[in-house]
A and B are shown apart, each in its own frame.
Chain A
Amino acid sequence: NAGVTQTPKFQVLKTGQSMTLQCAQDMNHEYMSWYRQDPGMGLRLIHYSVGAGITDQGEVPNGYNVSRSTTEDFPLRLLSAAPSQTSVYFCASSYSQGQGDYGYTFGSGTRLTVV
Chain B
Amino acid sequence: AQKVTQAQTEISVVEKEDVTLDCVYETRDTTYYLFWYKQPPSGELVFLIRRNSFDEQNEISGRYSWNFQKSTSSFNFTITASQVVDSAVYFCALSEGGRGSTLGRLYFGRGTQLTVWP
Contact = CB atoms under 8 A, between A and B. Distances in A.
Q: Do A and B bind each other?
A: yes
Contacts of B107: 45
Interface in B53-69: 54-55
Main DSSP-derived SS at the B contact region: loop
B101 to A, nearest CB: 6
B16 interface: no
B10 to A, nearest CB: 10
Given A43-B108, A92-B106, A104 B101 contact: no
B106 A56 contact: no
Interface stretch (A16-24, A75-83, A94-102): A94-102
Contacts, number: 69
What bracket does the count of chain B residues touching chain A fall in? 20 to 34
A103 B97 CA distance: 11
Contacts of A103: 47, 50
Interface string B69-100: 00000000000000000000001010101001
Contact of B103 (A45, A88, A102): A102
B117 interface: no
Interface of B: 4, 6, 9, 33, 35, 43-45, 47, 50, 52, 54-55, 91, 93, 95, 97, 100-101, 103-111
10 contacts: A33-B104, A43-B91, A45-B106, A48-B105, A56-B101, A58-B105, A94-B103, A96-B97, A100-B33, A100-B54
